[in-house]
A and B are shown apart, each in its own frame.
Chain A
Amino acid sequence: MDIKTLIGLEVHAELATKSKMFCSCSTQFGAEPNTQCCPICTGMPGVLPVPNKKAIEYAVRAGLALNCTISEFSKMDRKNYYYPDLPKAYQISQYDLPLCVGGYIDIETDSGPKRINIRRVHIEEDAGKLLHEGWGDSSLVDYNRSGVPLIEIVTEPDMNSAAEAGAFLDKLKAILQYIEVSDCKMEEGSLRCDVNVNAVSSDGSRATAITEMKNLNSFKAAIKAMEYEEKRHHDAIVHETATVHETRRWDEANGETVPMRSKEEAHDYRYFPEPDLVPIVLSREYVEEIRKSLPELPDEKYRRFIAQYGLPEYDAMVLTSSKDLANYFEECAAIYKDAKAVSNWLMGDVLRVLNEKSLSPSDIPFPPAYLAQLLEYIDEGTISTTIAKKVFDEMFATGKAPGTIIEEQGLVQISDEDALLKVVKQVLEENEQSIADYKAGKKKAMGYLVGQAMKLTKGKANPQLLNKLLEEELNK
């Protein structure tokens, strides 16, 4: 029997405004606890919220970039619940009239492109943070995050696998970073993801109850949790076991999800219109102004990279997955005209090192011009491709220009025929057995001799020339 997984996501992204949603406190991450709060964001009796216009603008930008319709009239509502990190005992959010409705993101899947529909994007304030570790039986509250503006992006259950959900999250993150409304750092909590999963049999005769998973704090955790749930739901259909609508938690240590609470215990949030705020009324002109100010988005850039640089689709997709990487590529390609070579280096060595060190493209420690220079040194024959890798590692470690590194370490390629010939002769004198092997038809011996020559020259020998000279000498 065919079983179909249905996954819907609710993604919370902190908006990168300087100040909070309803007061002027800083949103800077990592400050000492409770140093970035005031009577307003800590819900002191008597205070009132004043909306941050920039936050609304950012939310509209996000809505437009996600192909949503922007509501000319929307309002804020109160979501009531008790928790120590929520000082007012209600969160100011949006309920029945969200700021943005009905958008989509196109993703690539194994079976081709796919459109994931977005139900809504709304604006709300973040809660504080509880600190449980190191205080015995007590927990402490840090209100620095309380009142930081968020957008919540709610998708339709259009994703049919954890991989598709992963592709959606990657694309979403890229878009939000492109339009500079969120830095999307999952490790700092500026991007958080709730997942809804269930499964249905293809004939529609069986379906599992929806599982909700909250606050998955990394992409990896989200994907692993979804994979786990995908299997659990499939098993439930196959074995016809009963499922309940519940909230589950991802247990990273044991690699499994565990139940948190069932729907019967779920909150009744008692939403109602926030009486301390007037409705958000946006003029068409205002929305169009913002639309005009949107930068080129990943999909457009992807198409342009293919058209303008003649890149393969795969290269264009990888390069445009990050605005910083795409910009880096373009700056480099403006200097060094072989775009495919630039792409190869970025997708190969650059991304490899970034991944190894868990860095992002904005952390590349040298300017695009340096990478262009490195490629030119190869073309000119100043260094070999092998030496270039060594120079590249040094550039990454020190941020120095390739020319400086080549000079400092004496890495200029030996292309002088007389000098190389001397090396070749020395190698041949010291390896008579290899010569015999070669002449006996063991072509492998050639490789050994090249290696020996490279060793003598510390890798600086021009490989083509070295090969030519060696062959000439051996065949004499």
Chain B
Amino acid sequence: MELYRLTACQAYDMLKKREISCRELTQSVIKRIEDVEKDIDAYLYLDTEQALKQADKVDRLIASGKELEPLGGLPIGIKDNMCTKGMTTTCASRMLANFVPPYDATVVKKLKDRHDIILGKLNMDEFAMGSSTETSAFKKTKNPWDISRVPGGSSGGSAAAVAADEAFFTLGSDTGGSIRQPASLCGVVGMKPTYGAISRYGLIAFASSLDQIGPFTKDVTDCAMVLNAIAGHDANDSTSAVRECPDYKSALIDDVKGLKIGVPREYFGQGINEEVKKAVIDAIELLKTLGADYEETSLKYTDYALSAYYLIASAEASSNLGRYDGVKYGYRAANYEDMIDMYKKTRSEGFGSEVKRRIMLGTYALSSGYYDAYYLKALKVRTLITEDFKKAFEKYDVLIVPTSPTTAFKIGERIDNPMEMYLSDVCTVPVNIAGLPALSMPCGFDSRGLPIGLQIIGKAFDEETILRVAYTFEKNTKFHNKKPDER
């Protein structure tokens, strides 16, 4: 088997046992990128030369007798909205096309400390606003399962890179489904941990109260191991939780006996593709045969989640993106008459249309006279949805729902219809609103052979139970073994 096919844990084990060198491993992934990237377009920035230098350094470390920490020394990719010192971080926007941060995001620093090798930066929707990676100002990433289709978004590059074996794992960010939905569409494992479980320091903010960093991996074991590497309190992020970090690896138990699964009916209604529904229900039935109990339930405020989300996220975004005004950061219009004109031209030229749409929506929602009717009401809905989940988790250990209403759609199919695009997030958004952890993993394929994603939602800071259910499902199915190019 080609080395790039290995899971992160397998590659790490071979590296540790000196069965392969880091250079061999890195070269294999670089070769893979050279072969497929022209079709996939996952990376916005690549530095293979630097990666090989890093690999040689890792080999010297190993030769000197140093033991790598788990998942250390692996070639990986980072979504282009996490700051990487000395490496462009563009948020796939013209606005930040030349932004080279002078510091590393906390998660990047943690991975670098383990000697992971950052191959480059991955494509995304501009400022993480989108569900198809088509709003990127630079390129369109294709779904490795069918290159006429989108990889999902906003972390489309991160999902596609893992699906196409262009990195052992990648990091993405999830504000309304931006990890789980592309993971679902690309047939990989993607997890959005509890809000506060992972430091956001260095993640270029879209909607601060919803954004959360998480991993894309080839299987559930890798997911737990990446969490071990990046989770934990960070003094630089006041919203990161102060708590003892569990060993997520110990949650990998092939047993769901006695676990109670809630199946909220609102997630199986109108707009959810029949094949998707069937695959998810089959998965729940399988878990039942493995000893779990399930029961239909209701989360009655689900229908309001999408509206509340687009108000809260856009309101925060309108403020977070204010700093791109041509004064200190990023693009500045070439010609302008005065200060106000510079602001207008800079922002008109620097941002794409989806970003502008959200800035306008958010600005409106926060304007005096409209605040109570929009933003404040959205916050109240947020409280109701959070309560909804809290009540459900008094009865159930996890909730299981589809990740995305459909499998991967065609490039260009929804880009001109924002409402249709926004509906792509209908199953994922409520989780962000409540700050809960959730994981998406493959649970079948539709009639076109496109992957279907299963979403497991857990209690706040109970990633372990999610991982246990996911691990059990994976151990008893073969969906994760199928590769796009083996279709």
Distance in angstroms between the alpha carbons of A277 and B205 in the assembled complex: 14
Stretch at the interface among B182-190, B231-239, B272-280: B231-239
Question: Are A46 and B325 in contact, with the CB atoms below 8 A?
Answer: no
Contacts A39-B103, A270-B366, A272-B366 hold; do A49 and B323 have CB atoms under 8 A apart? no
Question: Are B236 and A50 in contact, with the CB atoms below 8 A?
Answer: yes
Question: Any chain A CB within 8 A of the CB of B212?
Answer: no
Question: Any chain A CB within 8 A of the CB of B202?
Answer: yes
A271 to chain B, nearest CB (A): 8
Report chain B residues within 8 Å CB of A45: 83, 89, 91, 96, 99, 101, 204-205, 323, 329
Distance in angstroms between the alpha carbons of A43 and B329 in the assembled complex: 9
Question: Are B99 and A278 in contact, with the CB atoms below 8 A?
Answer: no
8 contacts between A and B (CB under 8 A): A44-B102, A45-B89, A46-B203, A46-B204, A47-B202, A87-B323, A141-B327, A272-B366
Q: Would you give the 0/1 interface string for B77-109, flagging 1 where the beta carbon is closer than 8 Å to chain A?
A: 000001100000101000010010111010000
Question: Any chain B CB within 8 A of the CB of A173?
Answer: no
Question: Are A90 and B319 in contact, with the CB atoms below 8 A?
Answer: yes
Q: Which of B101, B315, B339, B367 contacts A46 (CB 8 A)?
A: B101
Question: Are A48 and B238 in contact, with the CB atoms below 8 A?
Answer: yes
* Interface majority SS (helix, strand, loop, mixed), chain A: loop
A448 to chain B, nearest CB (A): 73
Question: Are A275 and B83 in contact, with the CB atoms below 8 A?
Answer: no
Report chain A residues within 8 Å CB of B318: 80, 270
Question: Any chain B CB within 8 A of the CB of A82?
Answer: yes
Question: Are B238 and A46 in contact, with the CB atoms below 8 A?
Answer: no
Distance in angstroms between the alpha carbons of A10 and B315 in the assembled complex: 29
Report chain A residues within 8 Å CB of B325: 82, 89
A95 to chain B, nearest CB (A): 11
Tell me how many residues of B have a C-beta within 8 Å of chain A: 42
Question: Any chain A CB within 8 A of the CB of B368?
Answer: yes
Contacts A42-B328, A47-B202, A87-B328 hold; do A272 and B239 have CB atoms under 8 A apart? no
Distance in angstroms between the alpha carbons of A170 and B175 in the assembled complex: 50
A79 to chain B, nearest CB (A): 10
Binding site for B on A (CB under 8 A): 39, 42-51, 78, 80, 82, 84, 87-90, 141, 268, 270-272, 275-278
Report chain B residues within 8 Å CB of A268: 367-368
Question: Are B328 and A270 in contact, with the CB atoms below 8 A?
Answer: no
Question: Are B329 and A46 in contact, with the CB atoms below 8 A?
Answer: no
Q: Which partner residue on chain A sits nearest B211 by CB separation?
A: A275
A189 to chain B, nearest CB (A): 21
Contacts A50-B236, A275-B208 hold; do A44 and B322 have CB atoms under 8 A apart? no
Q: Which of A39, A49, A88, A89 contacts B238 (CB 8 A)?
A: A49
Q: Which partner residue on chain B sits nearest A90 by CB separation?
A: B319
Question: Are A89 and B323 in contact, with the CB atoms below 8 A?
Answer: yes
Q: Which partner residue on chain A sits nearest B347 by CB separation?
A: A82
B163 to chain A, nearest CB (A): 27
Binding site for A on B (CB under 8 A): 82-83, 89, 91, 96, 99, 101-103, 105, 200-205, 207-209, 235-239, 315-316, 318-319, 322-323, 325, 327-329, 339, 343, 363, 366-368, 371, 375
B310 to chain A, nearest CB (A): 15
Distance in angstroms between the alpha carbons of A143 and B26 in the assembled complex: 43
A80 to chain B, nearest CB (A): 5
Question: Are A48 and B322 in contact, with the CB atoms below 8 A?
Answer: no
Report chain B residues within 8 Å CB of A87: 323, 327-329
Q: Considering the complex of A and B, which 3 residue pairs feature the smallest CB-CB distances, nearest first?
A: A89-B322, A275-B209, A275-B208
Q: Which partner residue on chain A sits nearest B328 by CB separation?
A: A87
Distance in angstroms between the alpha carbons of A47 and B89 in the assembled complex: 13
Question: Are B201 and A47 in contact, with the CB atoms below 8 A?
Answer: yes
Report chain A residues within 8 Å CB of B204: 45-46
Question: Are A90 and B200 in contact, with the CB atoms below 8 A?
Answer: no
Distance in angstroms between the alpha carbons of A78 and B237 in the assembled complex: 17
Distance in angstroms between the alpha carbons of A43 and B327 in the assembled complex: 12
Question: Are B328 and A48 in contact, with the CB atoms below 8 A?
Answer: no
Extra 15 A-B pairs, beta carbons < 8 Å, given A45-B96, A270-B367: A44-B329, A45-B99, A45-B101, A47-B201, A48-B201, A49-B238, A82-B322, A89-B323, A270-B363, A272-B316, A272-B375, A275-B207, A275-B239, A276-B205, A277-B238
Distance in angstroms between the alpha carbons of A285 and B205 in the assembled complex: 36
Q: Which partner residue on chain A sits nearest B321 by CB separation?
A: A89
Question: Are A46 and B366 in contact, with the CB atoms below 8 A?
Answer: no
Report chain B residues within 8 Å CB of A276: 205, 208, 238-239
Contacts A46-B105, A46-B205 hold; do A51 and B238 have CB atoms under 8 A apart? yes
Report chain A residues within 8 Å CB of B339: 84
- Residue among A48, A51, A78, A90 with most chain B CB within 10 A: A48
A216 to chain B, nearest CB (A): 24
Distance in angstroms between the alpha carbons of A88 and B339 in the assembled complex: 16
Question: Are B363 and A46 in contact, with the CB atoms below 8 A?
Answer: no
Report chain B residues within 8 Å CB of A78: 319
Contacts A78-B319, A87-B327 hold; do A46 and B202 have CB atoms under 8 A apart? yes
